[in-house]
Amino acid sequence: MTAIRRFGLLAPLAAITLAGCGLNSVPTAEEHVNAAWGDLQADYQRRADLIPNLVATVQGYANQEKSVLTEVTNARARATSVQLNANDLSDPAKVQAFQAAQSQLSGSLGRLLVTVEAYPQLKSNENFLTLQSQLEGTENRIEIARRDYNEAVRQYNTTIRTFPDAVGAKIFYGAKPKVPFEASTAAQNAPTVNFNTAG
């Protein structure tokens, strides 16, 4: 009777101790990171799907700017070829490669949107304006998704490094820190916009 009573008192204490060791908080935080990553991937895919329509619309009006259009098309191909899944989020090299491809595409799109300023007839085209608006909205979504992903990574990395969750994170899950998105070095320079066209 005494052993059963003692076990009855120790069982809740053991459950509380284990709960405080990250058994629930670590996988919850990791799932939050994975969900934020899925949202970010969806926004990148939305952008990749819009680009062919934007390029086709611009090509109809600006055949003389084929080099910019080719650059955007190639950058999109590179960005969609670099795949990163939730299991790779702890590998800084893979995250950096994905980030670099997406940054290159963002830069190419910026140059395309500046280039079309030289074509007033394109700006009045309803299809172009709709696509441009969709693309700008997508870029805003990507920025918000990056911020949400980085916040989820920060929370996860904090969880697996602080006591008592760090105990469960290491012993039960072998948890590794996730890699946040960082701004590219090109993002520190303001884009140059020139509305004067030669000749």
> 190 to each of 82, 119, 187, how far by Cα in Å?
26, 23, 7
For the whole prediction, is pTM greater than 0.85?
Answer: no
The tokens of 123 are what?
């700006």
Architecture (CATH level 2) of domain 23-188: Up-down Bundle (1.20)
Closest among 111, 106, 56, 95 to 180, alpha carbons compared: 95
pLDDT tens, the chain, 199 aa long = 565 666 555 555 555 555 556 678 889 999 999 999 999 888 888 888 887 877 777 666 655 556 666 777 788 887 888 888 888 888 889 888 888 888 888 887 777 777 666 565 555 567 667 777 888 888 889 899 999 999 999 999 999 999 888 888 888 888 999 999 886 665 555 445 343 444 3
